[in-house]
Amino acid sequence: MLFRKKDHLIGLDIGSRTIKLGEVLDKKEHRVLRKFGMANLPENAIKEGHIKEPGIVADIIKGLVRDLKIKEQNVATSISGYSVIIKKIVVGKMSEEELHENIQYEAEQYIPFDVQDVNLDFHILGEHEANPNQMNVMLVAAKEEIINEYLDLLEMADLTPCILDVDVFVLERIFGDSYLPEQKSVALVDIGANKMNVNIVKNNTSAFTRDVSLGGEEITREIAAQFSCSFEEAEQMKLGEITDKVPRKDLQQIIMSFVSNWSSEIRRVIDFYYSTYPDETIAQILLSGGASQTLGFLEHLAGETSCAVEMFDPFRSLTINEKDFDSSYLKRIAPQACICMGLATRRASGK
């Protein structure tokens, strides 16, 4: 979804608990990380994809722009969640122009929203494997209500939207930029405060996606409920802050119960993928998002799925000046920065 053309953009990842802002410069044959920063949002400022407190969120974005001394106002951002439907469909072979004319009719058969209330986009994947008269198409439908909320927010933050992307495809793009092309399937698992997305990519193209309403905030809420503490206190305990209020063993038990549930859900998605594509094998799982670093999650997921699991590092393909950035800090927050870096490497002149 392209709104205005100007090449250089900043990447703005608006999460439900954290705002990430980044800038990447093109220098001859390499890309240079110029700016990166994060700021936390208050609880419920963004809930279920809806921006409940636009004034507060806009002020936090403005503060990040000011603190990072970013002068560029043109941004790339993205949306996700149940306001976005992504579906691989099969249609009769036709030109891109013909599909533009027929996409609304095709979409009506696959999306649970009124097509009058959504913004439609598509990408032609190629000829259908079994029928040369058909082709595979990736269909994307986003609720206009959500799109308008984000556009209004950016206006309040004195920024100009140039690209509005979808988290799934942003991760797919930064994966293609940061990792060597894989012939085997790779699962990109992004888990944030309130949602988890699994995108299985083959040959740098999405083969299967699934959104699940799970995330790190459910652990925080359970800790707060069981030990009668505030949301903020529970969040700090979840992140490892030592406290006399809660026995460490009890805390680990709560965290592992959710980690086990997340791992089982991912395994079910992978099993479904295998049932659909019986000849495929998941070579690797890459984890991103703030909740991906939850204690024990990586190890438990590796055991549950029998796959090689590691943290997604979006900085690996960028040139980084060690005088400007603390390398240990970037390594620590790398999984949280994936979508932001994917957006920061977008250019308005690109497709």
H helical segments located in the chain: 54-67, 96-108, 144-156, 167-178, 216-227, 231-238, 248-276, 297-305, 327-333, 338-344
How much is the pLDDT for 182? 64
Contact 36, 337 (CB under 8 A): yes
Contact 287, 335 (CB under 8 A): yes
How much is the pLDDT for 4? 42
How much is the pLDDT for 307? 93
How much is the pLDDT for 351? 54
Contact 223, 203 (CB under 8 A): no
How much is the pLDDT for 112? 82
How much is the pLDDT for 183? 66
How much is the pLDDT for 242? 66
Tokens describing residue 69: 């001394």
Burial of 253 (0-12, 13-18, 19+ CB in 10 A): exposed
How much is the pLDDT for 5? 43
The strands making up 160-166's β-sheet, listed across from edge to edge, are 30-40, 18-27, 10-14, 74-79, 160-166
**Per-position DSSP letters for 93-139, written without gaps between them:** ---HHHHHHHHHHHHHTT-SS-GGGEEEEEEEEEE-SS-TTEEEEEE
Q: Which residue has the tokens 């994917």?
A: 342
Distance from C-alpha of 300 to C-alpha of 37, rounded to nearest angstrom: 30
How much is the pLDDT for 209? 86
The number of angstroms, rounded, from the C-alpha of 244 to the middle of its chain's C-alpha atoms is: 36
Q: What is the pLDDT along the chain (351 residues), one digit of tens a residue?
A: 444 445 889 999 999 889 999 999 988 888 999 999 999 999 889 887 789 999 999 999 999 999 999 999 999 999 987 778 888 899 999 999 999 999 988 888 888 888 888 999 988 888 888 899 999 998 999 999 999 999 999 999 999 999 999 998 899 999 988 887 666 789 999 998 888 999 999 877 888 888 888 899 999 999 999 988 888 888 888 877 767 777 888 888 999 999 999 999 999 999 999 998 888 889 899 999 999 989 899 999 999 999 999 999 999 989 999 899 999 999 999 999 999 999 999 988 765
Q: Are strands 308-311 and 196-202 parallel, antiparallel or unpaired?
A: unpaired
Expressed in angstroms, the distance from the first to the final Cα of the chain is 9
Phi, psi angles (nearest 5°) of residue 313: -115, 100
- The CATH number of 180-312 is 3.30.420.40
Phi, psi angles (nearest 5°) of residue 175: -65, -45
How much is the pLDDT for 316? 92
Distance from C-alpha of 262 to C-alpha of 349, rounded to nearest angstrom: 38
